């Protein structure tokens, strides 16, 4: 059974249909990336999956007892709110100190527990968000443009961290991303969204699809060629991704 | 023991300061200053309602403040330009409340008592209502503290943790209406929002966690209350405004000290 899936999911926001008849399913341990232009319903889809948006029609099915780790697109903490990293990770449920420190370590920010959230750099902040999502040992990590506002090296390092977390914890990863070359290199599957699922499949299949080309042009061909060069021999669909690291 | 009106005034002021502190923190964190204004200005409308229907003032104010808070909270969820709209509601409620009170038949109402409070006229019965309301408001916030903080940070994150941000907003709304109703007698409709916001803002530089900020706000609020009471005796000034003035002074002091505390 899939971890999480949608059945003919239709979402309406402020009277506007943002998603129509979406059927997706995320399997154990796979990395799935959602791409699509602005306003194509990517974030709305994720919000429906975590239960923050009610479907206008259709449904979302979660596996029994599914634990979701959610990393929102942006989190603005008002400057008037004093909050330590440790305090942030203990909201709303308190966790033992060892659990908090372990999550921070996994996210690569083991030494920040006592810092104020307001004092963190963009990259540190995103990693703390990641650590928070890891607290309940999730079956699936859901990330909404988690590298927004990071520079390219910062984004690349963040994605490497995600891969490491996935390898260590075995969780599935569903993310929205604009970093097309990273997507192409690091995903098992790509979902191209534009109000509906316009194409999906392995990165090669999606990149060759006319629907995808119509949306993104052929500009990623260079990155894709690189991807194929390094990966055609190892991408065997058994979800063993120990070879993926070379992609960076 | 409660026969001394100064003691009653001090106790009433401390009760309001305690209730306003944690609530004021949320008002500041969530940028709901106008929300506090609209709700407290609506209190005047509640006074008019209570007087015309011969109800207890506290009940009338509670009902109208709650209604206003619910309206504002409902609008908050939509995509309307809330800043201007909240301004309209806040000032509209004040103006309509003033008109409504003036329309009351055969009654010369002492408007300034409702606008600026009359803490020196607090009775034992008032004290019971103030401390009772304050206790309920504080209990609500303590009970939902973690959940309220999560919903304040990010509604989606709260939802993903199994909370209902709308419910938390409702709890905050209820606590706000309650605090407005008990604070009316002490500082008056015009200055309730001040007692919410100023102590919380003054507490910010000395706080590294939300909890310490709420406790610091309570301490600062109490100092402002008692200091204002003393000042109003010393200089024969109106008590409610004196309390808010002391709070504003403490804020200025805190803002001046802020660079020392920032690392």
Per-residue pLDDT, A177: 84
| The residue to which tokens 């490491």 are assigned | A164
pLDDT confidence band for B205 (50 / 70 / 90)? very high
Instruction: For residues A100 and A123, give the distance between their C-alpha atoms in angstroms, rounded to a whole number.
Output: 19
Residue A16 β-bridge partners: A13
Does residue A207 sit within a domain? yes
In the DSSP assignment, the letter for residue A202 is S
Both tokens assigned to A181: 């070359």
In the DSSP assignment, the letter for residue A4 is E
Residue numbers of the domain that contains A177: 1-67+140-146+172-235
B200 to chain A: which residues are within 8 Å by CB?
80
Instruction: For residues A132 and B48, give the distance between their C-alpha atoms in angstroms, rounded to a whole number.
Output: 50
Does residue A205 sit within a domain? yes
Mean pLDDT of B85-102: 88
B208 to chain A: which residues are within 8 Å by CB?
82, 84, 116
A80 in contact with B at a CB cutoff of 8 Å? Answer: yes
| Length in residues, chain B | 263
In the DSSP assignment, the letter for residue A116 is B
Out of B155, B156, B210, closest to residue A83 by CB: B210
What CATH number should be reported for the domain holding residue A214? Answer: 3.40.50.300
Does residue A30 sit within a domain? yes
Instruction: For residues B47 and A197, give the distance between their C-alpha atoms in angstroms, rounded to a whole number.
Output: 57
A–B CB contacts, 8 A cutoff, strictly below: 68
Residue A33 β-bridge partners: A175, A190
Number of folded domains that form chain A? 1
Does residue A82 sit within a domain? no
* pLDDT tens digits, B10-57: 999 999 999 999 999 999 998 888 888 889 999 999 999 998 888 898
Both tokens assigned to A128: 């703390």
Per-residue pLDDT, A210: 80
Out of B28, B160, B163, closest to residue A70 by CB: B160
Q: Do B153 and A77 touch (CB under 8 A)?
A: yes
CA A117 to chain B, closest CA, distance in angstroms equals 10
In the DSSP assignment, the letter for residue A192 is E
Out of B29, B79, B147, closest to residue A81 by CB: B29
Both tokens assigned to B6: 């100064």
A42 in contact with B at a CB cutoff of 8 Å? Answer: no
Per-residue pLDDT, B77: 59
Q: Which of A59, A114, A54, A58 is nearest to A88 (CA)?
A: A114
B155 to chain A: which residues are within 8 Å by CB?
52
Out of B31, B157, B209, closest to residue A87 by CB: B209
The beta strand positions in chain A, using DSSP E, are: 4-13, 16-22, 25-26, 31-35, 57-62, 68-71, 140-144, 172-176, 189-193, 197-201
Q: Do A82 and B147 touch (CB under 8 A)?
A: no
Q: Do B79 and A14 touch (CB under 8 A)?
A: yes
ipTM of the complex: 0.84
Average pLDDT, chain B: 90
What is chain A's Cα-based Rg?
18
What domains sit in chain B, N to C, each tagged with a CATH number? Answer: 5-189 (1.10.3470.10)
Q: How many other CB atoms are found less than 10 A from the CB of residue A10? A: 17
Whether the Cβ atoms of residue B32 and residue B19 lie closer than 8 Å to each other: no
Annotate chain B with three-state secondary structure. Answer: CCCCHHHHHHHHHHHHHHHHHHHHHHHHHCCCHHHHHHHHHHHHHHHHHHHHHCCCHHHHHHHHHHHHHHHHHHHHCCCCCHHHHHHHHHHHHHHHHHHHHHHCCCCCCCHHHHHHCCHHHCCHHHHHHHHHHHHHHHHHHHHCHHHHHHHHHCHHHHHHCCCCHHHHHHHHHHHHHHHHHHHHHHHCCCCHHHHHHHHHHHHHHHCCCHHHHHHHHHHHHHHHHHHHHHHHHHHCCCHHHHHHHHHHHHHHHHHHHHHHHCC
- Which chain B residues touch A if contact means CB-CB below 8 Å? 28-31, 79, 146-147, 149-150, 152-161, 163, 200-201, 204, 207-210, 212-213
Chain A 97-126, residues with CB within 8 Å of chain B CB atoms: 116
Does residue A92 sit within a domain? no
* pLDDT tens digits, B220-259: 999 999 999 999 999 999 999 999 999 999 999 999 988 8
Q: Is B21 exposed, middle or buried (0-12, 13-18, 19+ CB in 10 A)?
A: buried
In the DSSP assignment, the letter for residue A87 is H
Whether the Cβ atoms of residue B20 and residue B199 lie closer than 8 Å to each other: yes
Instruction: For residues A12 and A95, give the distance between their C-alpha atoms in angstroms, rounded to a whole number.
Output: 36
Does residue A246 sit within a domain? no
Per-residue pLDDT, A233: 39
What pTM does this model have? 0.84
- The torsion defined by the Cα of B60, B61, B67 and B69, in degrees rounded to 10, comes to -170
Q: How many other CB atoms are found less than 10 A from the CB of residue B54? A: 7
Does residue A187 sit within a domain? yes
A186 Cβ contact partners less than 8 Å away, ≥ 6 residues apart: A31, A33, A159, A163, A244, A247
Per-residue pLDDT, B259: 83
Q: Do B160 and A82 touch (CB under 8 A)?
A: no
Q: Do A80 and B204 touch (CB under 8 A)?
A: yes
Per-residue pLDDT, B65: 92
Which helix (H) or strand (E) is A133 found in, with range? helix A122-134
Question: Which one is predicted more confidently, B111 or A60?
Answer: A60
Q: Do A92 and B201 touch (CB under 8 A)?
A: no
pLDDT in tens, chain A (248 residues): 799 999 999 999 888 899 999 999 999 999 999 988 888 889 999 999 998 899 999 999 999 989 999 998 778 888 899 999 999 999 888 999 999 999 999 888 999 999 999 899 888 998 999 999 999 899 999 999 888 878 888 888 888 888 888 988 899 999 998 777 777 777 889 898 888 888 888 888 887 778 777 777 665 554 444 444 443 333 344 433 333 233 33
Instruction: For residues A145 and A73, give the distance between their C-alpha atoms in angstroms, rounded to a whole number.
Output: 5
* pLDDT tens digits, B132-149: 999 999 999 999 999 999
B152 to chain A: which residues are within 8 Å by CB?
81
């Amino acid at each position: 059974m899939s971890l999480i899936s949608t059945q003919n999911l239709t979402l309406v926001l402020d009277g506007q249909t943002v998603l129509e008849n979406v059927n997706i399913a995320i399997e154990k341990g796979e990395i799935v990336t959602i791409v699509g232009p602005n306003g194509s319903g990517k974030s709305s889809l994720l919000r429906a999956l975590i239960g923050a948006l009610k479907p206008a029609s259709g449904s979302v099915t979660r596996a029994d007892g599914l634990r979701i780790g959610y990393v929102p697109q942006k989190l603005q903490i008002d400057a008037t709110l004093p909050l330590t990293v440790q305090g942030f990770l203990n909201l709303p449920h308190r966790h033992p100190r060892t659990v908090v420190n372990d999550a921070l370590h996994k996210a690569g920010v083991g030494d920040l527990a006592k810092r104020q959230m307001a004092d963190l750099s963009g990259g540190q902040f995103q990693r703390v968000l990641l650590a928070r999502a890891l607290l309940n040992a999730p079956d699936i990590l859901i990330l909404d443009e988690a590298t927004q506002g990071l520079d390219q090296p910062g984004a690349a390092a963040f994605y490497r961290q995600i891969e490491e977390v996935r390898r260590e914890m075995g969780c599935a990863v569903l993310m929205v991303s604009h970093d097309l070359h990273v997507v192409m290199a690091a995903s098992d599957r790509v979902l191209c969204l534009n109000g509906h699922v316009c194409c999906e499949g392995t990165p090669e299949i999606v990149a060759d699809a006319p629907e995808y080309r119509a949306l993104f042009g052929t500009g990623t061909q260079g990155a894709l060629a690189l991807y194929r060069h390094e990966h055609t021999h190892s991408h065997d669909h058994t979800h063993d991704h120990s070879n993926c690291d070379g992609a960076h | 023991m409660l026969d001394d009106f100064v003691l009653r005034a001090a106790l009433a002021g401390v009760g309001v300061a305690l209730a306003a502190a944690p609530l004021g923190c949320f008002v500041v964190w969530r940028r709901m200053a106008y929300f506090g204004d609209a709700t407290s200005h609506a209190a005047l409308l509640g006074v008019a309602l209570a007087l015309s229907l011969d109800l207890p003032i506290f009940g009338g104010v509670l009902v109208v403040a709650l209604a206003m808070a619910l309206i504002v909270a409902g609008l908050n969820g939509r995509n309307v330009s809330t800043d201007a709209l909240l301004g309209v509601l806040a000032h509209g409620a004040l103006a309509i409340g003033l008109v409504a009170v003036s329309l009351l038949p055969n009654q010369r109402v002492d408007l300034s008592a409702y606008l600026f409070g009359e803490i020196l006229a607090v009775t034992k019965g008032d004290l019971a209502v103030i401390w009772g309301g304050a206790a309920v408001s504080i209990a609500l916030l303590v009970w939902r503290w973690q959940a309220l903080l999560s919903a304040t940070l990010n509604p989606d994150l709260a939802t993903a943790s199994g909370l209902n941000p709308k419910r938390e907003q409702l709890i905050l709304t209820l606590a706000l209406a309650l605090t407005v109703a008990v604070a009316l007698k002490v500082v008056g409709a015009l200055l309730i929002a001040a007692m919410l916001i100023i102590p919380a803002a003054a507490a910010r530089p000395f706080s590294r966690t939300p909890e310490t900020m709420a406790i610091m706000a309570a301490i600062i609020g109490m100092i402002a209350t008692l200091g204002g009471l003393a000042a109003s005796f010393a200089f024969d000034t109106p008590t409610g405004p004196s309390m808010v003035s002391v709070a504003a002074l403490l804020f200025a002091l805190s803002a001046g000290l802020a660079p020392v505390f920032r690392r």
